[in-house]
Structure 1
Amino acid sequence: MSAPTPPPDLTAPLISLTWTDHVTGRQGHLVVDRLVRGVASGGLRMRPGCTLDEVAGLARGMTMKEALHFDADDSTVSYVPLGGAKGGIDCDPRDPEAYGVLVRYLRATRPYIERFWTMGEDLGLTQDTVDRAAAEAGLVSTVQAIHPLLDDETAARRRLADAFSVEVDGIGLAELVGGCGVAEAVLAVLDRSGTPYAGTRVSVQGFGTMGGATARFLSRSGLRIVAVADVKGTLAHPDGLDVETLLAARDAYGTVDRTALRPGDRELPADAWLSVDAEVLVPAAVSYAVDSVNQAAIGARWIVEAANMPVLPEAEELLARRGITVLPDVVVNSGTNAWWWWTLFGDVRPEADDAFARVRRAMRALIDLMLERAAADGTTPRAAAHALVADRLPVIAERYGWYGEGRPNRLSEA
């Protein structure tokens, strides 16, 4: 008599693979954590030292972000959640060979992108670069896997293209929506604690897509951005940096031209962003930025995770003991991903005002729900977010299925 088949491990990723570039020997990774209706969502990052474990953690985070933006009772929304996925390439994006590596990675993963991995920019890459490389690799679009789920593919693609053409004061809407969401998370927690915006000091690590946009929204809300860190070090001013000048002086990788600094601006070591006098820290660059050692330098009251996985678990435990609250990435930086799909499915118009209003409304609701759950359960915000995901994933699986089985959409008929 054969042994009974063990139940499947639903915490393990559905697909996990490593690719080796035949030209340079560099490696890239792809992890599909879960499918919903046969599709998963998640960006592609490029950074030296990127590992399969890192990509797997990011893919699981994408599954959570999708679930957190699912409202089973809202029948007015056309977009429904996708699964989570992520790609990563172990290469410095500034390396002269980086673009060739990117194109070859996309050629190798093309069947996955065509069928079920919808992807866009992440750390180290811009959407323009990804789109150019994708076209060279023979792809119609980096989100073509979702096209069969759309009622009108042509209209949906036009909406997304129109949205990507929108600029607000020199910065593209696609870049701004993520920072809008992060900033709203900061403002929400300040409102809940009764802390006035004016005079609240913020330190931001990373001044690229997410960090730069976050700094703009917070500065325009009256907060003081007292420190900004890029690859060259930390820029600081106790009365607040001139955010718009720094934004205009940064390159494609978020590095600020130091000739744009004012006489009172200071240049400090790279890790000084952790210890400057500030109420709010916004890590918006690399993963694993706050560890069990350097967390001791932090005196802020809140850490708001704009980057993916910037605070290590052991560091978060130590921070909690000191009364420092970490707002987790799966909630805080989920606005960009949700906005892509809201736009594609027609839930928001390809206009800045509509996009920002929707992101702000969704982020406020999520922050409130998470913090109320944390208070009720006596847990951290991260544990509360994970509990919300655990409640929603079975509902999503039952309603939509992993592979779109039984669903009346074009994907299931393909």
Structure 2
Amino acid sequence: MSNPLSFVNPTPDSPWQTYLSQVDRVLPYLGHLARWADTLKRPKRALIVDVPIELDNGTVAHYEGYRVQHNLSRGPGKGGVRYHPDVTLEEVMALSAWMSIKNAAVNLPYGGAKGGIRVDPKQLSQKELEKLTRRYTSEIGLIIGPQQDIPAPDVNTNAQIMAWMMDTYSMNTGATATGVVTGKPIHLGGSLGRVKATGRGVFVTGREAARKLGLDLQGARVAVQGFGNVGSAAAELFGQAGAKIVAVQDHSGCLINTRGFDLSELVPWVRQHGGVGGFPGGEPLTAEEFWDVDCEIMIPAALEGQITADRANRLKARLVLEGANGPTLPAADDILAERGILVVPDVICNAGGVTVSYFEWVQDFSSFFWTEDEINLRLDKIMQGALRRIWDTADQHGVTLRTATFAVACERILMAREERGLYP
């Protein structure tokens, strides 16, 4: 089991250590607010729960679950729930902290939170998955709520799991509470445009960054790691803009096609087979060869810690768009900066999902719903405005976009902390 005090003594190269390093880099730009900086280095609340369920064969299995609220100074917690066999407390702490930064960077009225269960959901039946979700929701029900902490889908979770979470919370509180989660099915208060929102945000920020670099998307070669909701949606939008998706990698395999994949065939294949592996429209690569592919744009949209120092030295892209959370290690970040490779960091690049989650939350409270075109227009406007503010900050201080994003976000969080004061 993870050490509950690991925020004091983090594991080397863990996601939490990566986050702490990112905070340390921004301290010189916080002025008088730096006195509050330790607020950012300690989660407000970390809940570890036992999740026992009866399996279909009659045996009882126990799973470890987490819900971490990193900072609530700017509003209720907001962040996804992931089901994965490698989930740890330190990972969830880091993901919750990145949500604090992300929400503040886009100026949403939320704090940061995240949840997870250490489980391989592929080993569970649909009924077992429902039992797991409902028991986990009941266990963390102490600290979630429409005005407290609002979960959402993440790795290996989806609209169905959000529906079970919403129903369980509603049954336990005695009233239907659609606003307790986002990413729900449309007919249960979900928002149009939510499924592809994160990928759309990756595309919108990537398009703006490409313009700044003078990089024409027409014919630009794109490599995508992770081909789930985020990677596939971003790939489709880049394809529509004239770019070529030349390499794809996920848990099932790695493929290259220098002429560009036919996404009208690849996307349905992934939907049917659960991954890119075996797709006949490309040549296989090893997982490590993926990082040597000739491309202009690299989109890591899988899990954290993927771009190491070694891979950063080999990368041939001009632009890295972080669709995943924490995919670049701090040492790799420095190497990419030295090599002149622009990184649009996760805390702004993949903020499209939480932005449309905010729209969903607002729509649930008002019981008035917007069209998908309205959603996309609002999303594009918010993402472009946030990126412009961050770019101006980067130019002002002569720092990377990541440091600039943290500077903008940490200033907003710590200003709220200072103005609220300490209680008691």
* TM-score (ref. length: structure 1): 0.81
Show the counterpart of 2:321: 304
Q: Describe the SS at the equivalent of 1:13.
A: coil
Amino acid in the other structure paired with 1:339: V
How far did 1:117 drift?
A: 1.5
Contact 1:202/1:278 (8 A) holds in 2 = yes
Give 1:82 shift. 1.2
The aligned counterpart of 2:3 is none
Is 1:101 aligned with 2:101?
A: no
Does the CA contact (< 8 Å) of 2:252 and 2:277 recur in 1? Answer: no
- Please name the residue that 1:129 is paired with: 161
The separation in 2 between residues aligned to 1:177 and 1:215, in whole angstroms, is: 13
Give me the whole-angstrom Cα distance separating, in 1, the residues matched to 2:408 and 2:75. 23
Q: Structure 1's 351 and 400: CA in aligned 2 closer, same or farther, altered over 3 A?
A: farther
1:205–1:229: 8 Å Cα contact kept in structure 2? yes
Q: CA deviation at 1:355?
A: 1.4
Please report the RMSD computed on the Cα atoms of aligned residues, expressed in angstroms: 3.0
Which residue, out of 369, 373, 391, partners 2:393? 373
Q: Match of 2:116, SS?
A: strand
After TM superposition, where is structure 1 displaced by more than 6 Å over at least 4 residues in a row?
157-160, 398-403
Whichever residue aligns with residue 246 of structure 1, its letter is L
| Residue of structure 1 equivalent to 2:295 | 278
Using the TM superposition, give the Cα deviation of residue 229 of structure 1 relative to its aligned residue in structure 2, in angstroms.
1.0
The alpha carbon displacement at 1:272 in A equals 3.2
- Judged with a 3 Å threshold, the aligned counterparts in structure 2 of structure 1 residues 228 and 107 are, in CA distance, closer, same or farther, namely same
Shift of 1:161: 4.5
Q: Deviations over 1:252-304 (max 9, x none)?
A: 8951363x533xx2122233332211111101111111122333331111111
Matched, 1:222 2:235: no
Helix, strand or coil for the counterpart of 2:248? strand
| 1:133–1:118 CA distance, 2 compared to 1 (3 A) | closer
2:280 maps to which residue?
A: 261
Q: 1:402 to 1:177 in 2, by over 3 A?
A: farther
- Rounded Cα–Cα distance in structure 2 between residues aligned with 1:142 and 1:117: 13
Structure-2 change in CA distance of 1:145 and 1:163 (3 Å): closer
Q: 1:381 to 1:303 in 2, by over 3 A?
A: same
Amino acid paired to 1:55 = V
Cα displacement (A) at 1:370? 1.6
Equivalent-residue separation in structure 2 for 1:256 and 1:277 (angstroms): 19
In structure 2, the CA distance between the partners of 1:180 and 1:89, relative to structure 1 (3 Å rule), is same
Q: Which among 75, 78, 87 is matched to residue 115 of structure 2? A: 87
- Matched with 1:383 is 403
Amino acid at match of 1:243: L
Q: CA deviation at 1:158?
A: 11
Q: Distance in 2 between matches of 1:305 and 1:132?
A: 30
Q: Deviations over 1:206-237 (max 9, x none)?
A: 11111111111111111111111121211221
* CA distance, structure 1, for counterparts of residue 266 and residue 166 of structure 2: 31
Give the structure 2 partner of residue 65 of structure 1. 102
Within 2, Cα distance between the matches of 1:83 and 1:133?
20
Alignment partner, residue 151 of structure 1: none
1:410 maps to which residue? none
SS at match of 1:289: coil
Distance 1:37 1:371 in 2: 23
Alignment of 1:175-186 (within 5 A): 175-186=195-206
Q: Which residue of 1 aligns with 2:28?
A: none
Who is 2:48 aligned against?
Answer: 18
Q: Secondary structure at the match of 1:225?
A: strand
The amino acid of 1:31's aligned partner reads V
1:115-145 per-position Cα deviation (integer Å, ceiling 9, x unaligned): 6220110012112233235535646457428
State the distance in 2 between where 1:118 and 1:392 align: 21
- Name the aligned partner's letter for residue 116 of structure 1: Q
Structure 1 residue 47 corresponds to structure 2 residue 76: no
| Secondary structure of residue in 2 paired with 1:226 | strand
Deviation readout 1:164-203 (Å, 9 max, x if unpaired): 4x4xxxxxx2211111110011111111111111111110
Aligned partner of 2:269 among 234, 249, 253: 249
Query: Hey, what's the Cα distance between the residues in 2 that align with 1:37 and 1:187?
Result: 29
- Provide the C-alpha distance between the structure 1 equivalents of 2:343 and 2:214, rounded to a whole number of angstroms: 18
Classify the secondary structure of the residue corresponding to 2:156.
coil
Q: Quick one: distance in 2 between partners of 1:20 and 1:180?
A: 36
Indicate how the Cα distance of structure 1 residues 300 and 196 shifts in structure 2: closer, same or farther if over 3 A, else same.
same
Counterparts in 2 of 1:50 and 1:325: CA distance versus 1, 3 Å: same
**1:349 offset after TM fit, Å?**
5.2
Query: Aligned pair in 2 of structure 1 residues 94, 158: CA closer, same or farther (>3 Å)?
Result: closer
In 1, distance between residues paired with 2:101 and 2:232? 25
Q: How does 1:342-357 map to 2 (within 5 A)?
A: 342-346=359-363, 350-357=370-377
Task: Give distance in 2, aligned partners of 1:93 and 1:159.
Answer: 24
Unaligned runs of 5+ in 2: 1-34, 53-59
For residues 360 and 106 of structure 1, the distance between their equivalents in structure 2, rounded to whole angstroms, comes to 33
Q: How does 1:91-240 map to 2 (within 5 A)?
A: 91-96=119-124, 99=129, 100-114=131-145, 116-136=148-168, 138=171, 140-141=176-177, 143-144=179-180, 161=188, 164=191, 166=192, 173-240=193-260
Whole-angstrom distance in 2 between the partners of 1:402 and 1:288: 35
Could you tell me how far apart the structure 2 residues matched to 1:158 and 1:92 are?
Answer: 23
SS in 1 for 2:196: helix
Please state whether the residue corresponding to 1:179 is helix, strand or coil: helix
